[in-house]
């Protein structure tokens, strides 16, 4: 389950990067010829949309869309009817209205009061499925704290540290959490599986019609699952990381070929300096975001910076793969076609995946490689900005 959630979050970050970088004609896959609005404050009220892409610090959408809708930003408010799928990514996301298709929502704080006929995947620190929300398909919720007060018709899976269930569900319910509280208002009309630490709290007024199975949370812990899986349990995370980094690296090569070439040179010529840059970025970026969050104007910027950190680390890992592939196949630094660069990336990432399997030393090597790749990327960006300013 966690692999799926990680992929959804990654796709949200990559989607934001692509939408900010390429013309609308090249991202017709997302809005199918519909509106594209990017800005600090985006406000849309349109009943004739055939699709929508919108991003910014504050995004507000009302109306009706016959096509899919993609939203990203610090503060996203969605109050529209969508006849297709809905994708929303941001720091604070509030979704109302109605969605006929599937919905994928990623946010630090997420509130849903809408009806969603398709499947719902939600990832966030705090997730609230409020009273009045109606989920027609299967739903997967993952967060630090999840509050569910809506109505679910399909299978419902909740994974969190703390779960408050006060709604109703007609499909099977699975909860994995440290603390579980089933409130008096809860109506559960199917079998329930609860994995928790200690005894879950089920209020006397709760209506639980199906069978309730209670288990220890340790039975579904990642460490136990991987240990039971044997070698495959150690290989699968590396394969997932390889695929994600390959996708990010290909986008990097496509959108910024010159930047990729510069990052490779920085990584090979100055690996130690690149590693120090990467370490400094990992330490300073969250600190800067925390300082910015203390101000009203800087809070959205700080939130976006935190959301961007996983993408930067993934790009750093991809740069490390590019550098390793360059070291294997092109030590003279001769020009290479995009196809050969992609091959170098794949070989380098495969090598990193193999290194990551080594007990104890493997994860440490991957961390060092990621920091070096991130530092090389940042140094290249710094040099290009400095050259542009000097010109």
* Dihedral angle, C-alpha 24, 259, 91, 115, nearest 10 °: 40
Looking at 186, 205, 225, the residue that finishes a domain is 225
Give the integer Cα–Cα distance in Å for 244 and 255. Answer: 17
> To which residue do tokens 């939130």 refer?
303
Are 322 and 255 in contact, with CB atoms under 8 Å apart?
A: no
Please tell me whether residues 154 and 264 are part of one structural domain: no
Q: Is 10 helix (H, G, I), strand (E, B) or coil?
A: helix
Same domain, yes or no: 8 and 120: yes
Q: Which of 225, 252, 286 corresponds to the end of one domain?
A: 225
16 shares its domain with 137: yes
Tokens of 253: 């090569």
| E strand residue ranges, the chain | 35-38, 41-49, 52-65, 69-82, 86-99, 103-112, 115-116, 120-129, 134-135, 139-148, 151-152, 156-165, 168-169, 173-182, 187-188, 192-196, 201-202, 207-208, 212-216
**165, 192, 225: which is the final residue of a domain?**
225
- Same domain for 234 and 221: no
Q: Provide the domain count of the chain.
A: 2
Domain shared by 317 and 363, yes or no: yes
Let me know whether 24 and 60 are in one domain.
yes
| Beta-carbon count within 10 A of 16 CB | 21
58 and 179 fall within a common domain: yes
pTM above 0.75, yes or no: no
Tell how strand 115-116 and strand 86-99 pair up: parallel
Q: What is the pLDDT along the chain (391 residues), one digit of tens a residue?
A: 444 444 444 444 444 444 433 333 333 344 445 788 877 788 999 998 888 888 777 899 999 999 899 887 778 999 999 999 999 887 789 999 999 999 999 887 899 999 999 999 998 888 999 999 999 999 999 888 999 999 999 999 999 889 999 999 999 999 999 899 999 999 999 999 999 888 899 999 999 988 999 888 777 644 444 444 444 455 566 677 777 788 888 877 777 667 778 888 888 888 889 989 988 888 888 777 777 767 767 667 777 777 778 888 888 899 998 888 888 887 666 777 777 888 888 888 888 888 877 766 778 888 899 999 999 988 888 887 776 655 5
pLDDT computed for residue 180 by the predictor: 94
Residues 176 and 242 in one domain: no
Query: Do 217 and 322 fall into the same domain?
Result: no
Phi and psi at residue 310, in whole multiples of 5°? -60, -40
Retrieve residue 67's tokens.
């096509």
Neighbours of 339 (CB within 10 A): 9
Q: How far apart are CA 55 and CA 69, in angstroms?
A: 11
Query: Are 202 and 233 within one domain?
Result: no
List pLDDT tens digits, range 302-322. Answer: 777 777 788 888 888 999 988
Residues 6+ apart with CB under 8 A from 238: 353, 356, 357
**Residues 315, 220: one domain?**
no
Query: What is the residue range of 376's domain?
Result: 229-390
Task: Give the integer Cα–Cα distance in Å for 315 and 313.
Answer: 5
Q: What are phi and psi of 293, to 5 degrees?
A: -65, -15
**Site of tokens 């970050």:** 13
Residues sharing a CB contact under 8 Å with residue 199, sequence separation 6 or more, in sequence order: 214
Buried b vs exposed e over 256-280: b needs ≥16 C-beta within 10 Å?
beebbbbbbbbbbebbeebbebbbe
**How many whole angstroms separate alpha carbon 357 and alpha carbon 365?**
10
Residues 135 and 240 in one domain: no
């Amino acid at each position: 389950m966690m692999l799926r959630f990680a992929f959804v979050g990654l796709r949200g970050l990559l989607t934001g990067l692509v939408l900010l970088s390429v013309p609308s004609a090249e991202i017709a896959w997302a809005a199918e010829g519909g509106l594209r609005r990017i800005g600090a404050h985006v406000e849309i009220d349109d009943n004739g949309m055939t699709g929508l892409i919108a991003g910014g610090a504050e995004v507000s959408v009302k109306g009706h869309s016959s096509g899919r809708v993609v939203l990203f930003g610090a503060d996203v408010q969605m109050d529209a009817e969508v006849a297709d799928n809905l994708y929303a990514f941001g720091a604070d996301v509030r979704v109302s209205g109605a969605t006929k298709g599937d919905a994928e929502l990623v946010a630090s704080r997420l509130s849903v009061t809408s009806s969603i006929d398709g499947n719902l995947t939600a990832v966030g620190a705090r997730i609230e499925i409020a009273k009045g929300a109606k989920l027609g398909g299967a739903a997967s919720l993952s967060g630090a704290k999840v509050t569910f007060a809506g109505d679910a018709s399909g299978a419902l899976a909740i994974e969190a540290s703390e779960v408050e269930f006060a709604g109703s569900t007609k499909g099977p319910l699975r909860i994995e959490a440290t603390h579980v509280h089933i409130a008096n208002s809860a109506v559960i009309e199917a079998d329930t599986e609860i994995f928790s630490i200690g005894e879950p709290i089920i209020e006397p007024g709760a209506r639980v019609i199906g069978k309730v199975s209670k288990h220890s949370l340790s039975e579904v812990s990642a460490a136990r699952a991987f240990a039971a899986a044997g070698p495959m349990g150690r290989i699968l995370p590396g394969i997932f990381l390889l695929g994600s980094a390959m996708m990010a690296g290909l986008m990097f090569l496509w959108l910024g070929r010159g930047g990729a070439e510069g990052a490779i040179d920085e990584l090979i010529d100055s690996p130690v300096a690149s590693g120090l840059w990467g370490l400094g970025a990992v330490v300073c970026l969250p600190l800067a975001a925390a300082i910015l969050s203390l101000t009203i104007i800087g809070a959205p910027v700080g939130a976006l910076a935190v959301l961007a950190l996983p993408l930067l680390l993934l790009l750093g890992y991809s740069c490390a793969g590019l550098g390793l592939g360059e070291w294997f196949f092109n030590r003279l630094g001769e020009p290479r076609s995009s196809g050969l660069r992609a091959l170098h990336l794949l070989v380098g990432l495969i090598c990193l995946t193999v290194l990551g399997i080594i007990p104890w030393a493997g994860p440490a090597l991957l961390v060092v490689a990621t920091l070096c790749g991130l530092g090389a990327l940042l140094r290249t960006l710094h040099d290009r900005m400095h050259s542009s300013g000097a010109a």
